[in-house]
Amino acid sequence: MTIWVAASSGDGTYTLRASVQLWTHNAERTMHWAKHGELTRMVRRTFCVLAKQAQIPALRSVHITAQPHQKRGRLADPGAHQPAVKAAIDGLVDARVLPDDSGAYVASLSHLPPLRALGSTDELELTLRVGV
C-alpha cells in the first residue's frame, strides 16, 4: 500500500507524508552502492512528485521537521534516518519548492524520534514551516 498525503494548513505550514523505505546511518555504512542509489532515488522522486501534487509554491526559507514512522524493529534514535530525510529534501529541491538545500534556504532541520508505523510500511513525514 502506498500512502501519499499532502496538506496545507493555510498558515504557511505544509505536511508531506509518504510510504517509503527508511534506512539509517548505520545501515548505510554497509549498504551496497547500487542499493543506496535505488533507495535514494525512490525517496527523492516520491517527495518531488508529492510536493508538485500539493502545489507548494517556491519558498525562500523553511523550517523542516522530520518524523519517521518505523514498521518494525527497535525504534531508531532521533536523526538516525537522516539519509532518507536528506533524499526527501533533495526531492523538494527537484520540485523547485526550494532553490537549494543549503542553510541559506533551510533555516532549521529537526528530527523527531521515530514512531511505530500503524500501517504495513515505513513512512516519512516532513512538515515545512515557512521561515522569516
38-92 pLDDT, tens digit each? 999 999 999 999 999 989 999 999 999 999 999 988 999 899 999 999 999 999 9
- Predicted confidence (pLDDT) per residue in 23-48, tens digit: 888 888 888 999 889 999 999 999 99
- Predicted confidence (pLDDT) per residue in 98-107, tens digit: 999 999 999 9
Query: Residue 50 belongs to what H/E stretch?
Result: helix 33-53
Q: Is the pLDDT of residue 11 over 70?
A: yes
**CA 98 from centre of chain:** 14
Beta bridge partners of 125: 17, 67
Question: What is the model's pTM?
Answer: 0.91
Q: At the topology level of CATH, where does 4-130 sit? A: 60s Ribosomal Protein L30; Chain: A; (3.30.1330)
The residue to which cell 510500511 is assigned: 121
d(CA 34, CA 37): 5
